Structure 1
């Protein structure tokens, strides 16, 4: 029961993480063009499923975001939402694997979690490098460092810390 409450609390906090920047004026435009994806270590090693020959390459996506504060804020919100979903799923996966007492499943769950945490950290740091606004650059870099400090363990996520990081990002994006 205690684990279930923990999962619920962390899942809720993670979902809030992904929605903060999208609450601004950019979210009001429901017909906005899709944002280019930030390259991640996993994305750099293999093309995305269904990618067409005309799709933007990671370098082109970075160039499209470079210095564009609004686009970076939108991408940070989307990336945060995706990470929140992944982290919530990873936490459930870890709990289920540990409950099964299957060492192979536990190892695979830990590897997936570590990969998801690394990818999110990489994306945040990459967006930080692209940001021209000093507050946004610092907020994203700090978030990337905080995610890196998890060392792949989503159970280390503190809802209060996530809320503070999200507030910093919201402020840097002009949403708070």
Structure 2
């Protein structure tokens, strides 16, 4: 019961993070920049890696974002919102697997949640490399490091960390 209450609280915080990170585009008609594609082939949050070979040169998403602080802020907010939803699902997956007391399900759930947290850290770090504005570059790099220190453990995502990440992004993007 205690774990369920904790999961509910963290899930709520994750969903709030996603809601708070949306862009100011009220019509919702602005298309998000293409996904990032530089360096090693990294999946989108929640996806599976299709190749471990490095991509040749910058991808189309990198060209669209490189040096464009507004686009990077929008992409970072969208990535954060997507990650928040994924983390809420991952938390439920972990709890369900552990409740079922099935070692195989637990292992698969841990592997998925680890991959999702690592993907989010990678995305933040990758966006920091594209930023030309020093404050935004530093903020995204710091956020990526903070998420990477979780070592893929979605259970370590708490409301305080999520609020701090959101505040860091908002400040760097001139929203806070």
Q: What TM-score results when the alignment is normalised by the length of structure 2?
A: 0.85
Residues 158/8 of structure 1: CA separation in 2 closer, same or farther (3 Å cut): same
Q: How far did residue 88 of structure 1 move?
A: 0.8
Number of residue pairs the alignment of both structures matches:
165
In structure 1, what is the Cα distance between the partners aligned to 2:19 and 2:149? 22
Matches within 5 A, 1:30-69: 30-39=28-37, 41-42=42-43, 45-46=49-50, 59-69=59-69
Structure 1 portions without partners, runs of 5+:
48-56
Deviation string 1:79-132 (CA, Å, 9 cap, x unpaired) is 111111111111111111111111100000000011101111100000010011
Matches within 5 A, 1:165-176: 165-176=165-176
Structure 2 portions without partners, runs of 5+:
52-56
Aligned-partner SS, 1:152: coil
Residues 173/20 of structure 1: CA separation in 2 closer, same or farther (3 Å cut): farther
Q: How far did residue 149 of structure 1 move?
A: 0.9
Between structures 1 and 2, the one with greater helix share: 1
Greater displacement, 38-47 / 4-13: 38-47
In structure 1, what is the Cα distance between the partners aligned to 2:97 and 2:58? 34
Q: How far did residue 23 of structure 1 move?
A: 4.6
Aligned to 2:113: 113
Residues 60/112 of structure 1: CA separation in 2 closer, same or farther (3 Å cut): same
In structure 2, what is the Cα distance between the partners aligned to 1:42 and 1:10? 24
Q: What TM-score results when the alignment is normalised by the length of structure 1?
A: 0.85
Which protein has greater RCO, CA pairs closer than 8 Å, 6+ apart? 1
Aligned-partner SS, 1:6: helix
Aligned to 1:96: 96
